Amino acid sequence: MENITRKETDDFVINGGRKLSGTIQTNTSKNGALGLFCASLLNKQTTTLHGIPNIQEISRIIEIFESIGVKVEWMDKNSVRITPPKKFNMAKISENPATHIRSVLMMIGSLIHFENNFKMPHAGGCKMGQRTIAAHRYGLESLGVTIDTKEKYYEIKHKKLKTNDIVLYEASDTATENLLIAAALIPGITTLRFTPPNYQVQEVCFFLEMCGVKIEGIGTSTLVIHGVKEINTPLEYHNSEDPTESMMFIAGAIVTNSKLIVTRCPIEFLSLELLKLEKMGLKFIKSEIYLSKNGKTKLCDITIFPSKLTALHDKIHASAYPGINADNLPFFVPICVLANGTTLIHDWMWENRAIYFTELNRLGANMVLADQHRVMITGPSLFKANQVVCPPALRPATIVLVAMLGAKGKSILRNVYSIKRGYENIAERLNSIGADITILNSF
């Protein structure tokens, strides 16, 4: 497989103002895949995962896995075979890729079952202000784990793991997955309370059920895990689709005033977003519901029609599921630029992400930064072509791309590494539905 971590300075040239048309399929999810990778380490035998997106973030975690002795083989374009070593070589863990992704934290939940004392490099990811690991730390401590924070790494220790009744310190998807994975191999009952039942959390639950771990309360805020002594059998599992990618295509259709069919949308994780858009005036239809290949996640096809939008009277903000997904919230920004009236978007989860939203002012938006969490958007405004450097965060970078699709003329989006972290072949796929994007490679 090509080493896709090399091209970190690629640029996109977008000839915007073109209508999108036809049908585009939602890819499987980055966040689901990362949780499945970490959970697969529980299995002493080979795990085959299907629906793994070929993106930067996956390349990073594979590099980390291989550094500690895990064998990872691409079976085809989107399927991998993961075979653990008899003994993890934690002294060799690759530090650089770990500092670029946050999901490395979820490896702790697996590795504590095979190592009593090891070091984990500090996690990285999008640059959106302080991102605490408190929910991970306090939850793992309740299971008998000690985490000492050093300058460049966490030192993880434990003598004996134990079940517990745990209240999450905050509604964190990755912390919930981490604790699910940790509890899976602690015989007995562990209860997790105040857990966000988001799509990636449910994905890990479905996988653990296939592993023989009984989990009560999937889809709710309380999970009861019946841990087992061992997982030691060949497994095969299908990752489900990414609601945030569906949302990106929906936003692209709205910004370009196009009719577009987006297939395989995880509707349970888009319903509130669609309701908000419906109240703004968006016209769309949904197909009948069908299941993803994991046999659990509900999907449907959504047809978006050209519509005139009006700003909502109340603010738009994210919440833990079943609220608006925090990763979907940024896509309302380019949409609201086109809506008649003023919209307050409140991104309370991240200290700095709202600041990146104002990059759309370079493309003609009329947006005021109220503080580091809130923007006021007055519309409608027409997007205009310009040159912008990608923000160092996945979703803010992607909404700049979406806005450029609607800006007549030639725009240049510099250093698209942030986008490549989360979207597979996004330029080619957008081009397949009518966009005009050229990739400029820099080495």
* Upstream peptide bond of 396 is cis (omega within 30 degrees of 0): no
- Interval 302-349: pLDDT, tens: 999 999 999 999 999 999 899 999 999 999 999 999 999 999 999 988
Place of tokens 């569906």: 246
The pLDDT mean for the chain works out to 93
101 confidence band (pLDDT: 50, 70, 90): confident
**pLDDT (mean) for 405-424:** 93
pLDDT at position 8 over 60? no
Burial 293-323 (b: 16+ CB within 10 A, else e): bbebbebbbbbbeebebebbeeebbbebbee
251 confidence band (pLDDT: 50, 70, 90): very high
Superfamily designation of domain 11-27+241-440: Enolpyruvate transferase domain (3.65.10.10)
Superfamily designation of domain 30-238: Enolpyruvate transferase domain (3.65.10.10)
pLDDT at position 43 over 50? yes
Between the alpha carbon of residue 392 and those of residues 132, 319, 408, the distances in Å are 18, 23, 25
pLDDT over 70, % of the chain? 95
Q: What is residue 2's predicted lDDT score, i.e. its pLDDT?
A: 38
Q: What is residue 153's predicted lDDT score, i.e. its pLDDT?
A: 85
Question: Regarding predicted confidence, which is higher, 4 or 323?
Answer: 323
Q: What is residue 131's predicted lDDT score, i.e. its pLDDT?
A: 55
pLDDT at position 7 over 80? no
Q: What is residue 5's predicted lDDT score, i.e. its pLDDT?
A: 40
- Interval 108-159: pLDDT, tens: 999 999 999 999 887 754 443 445 788 999 999 999 999 988 888 889 999 9
104 confidence band (pLDDT: 50, 70, 90): confident
How many other β-carbons are positioned within 10 Å of the β-carbon of residue 90? 17
Between CA 91 and CA 98 the distance in angstroms is 14
**pLDDT (mean) for 351-374:** 94
How many other β-carbons are positioned within 10 Å of the β-carbon of residue 367? 22
- Shortest CA distance to 46 belongs to which of 28, 71, 74? 71
- Shortest CA distance to 33 belongs to which of 103, 91, 126? 103
Q: What is residue 442's predicted lDDT score, i.e. its pLDDT?
A: 61
Q: Where in the chain is the domain with CATH 3.65.10.10?
A: 11-27+241-440, 30-238
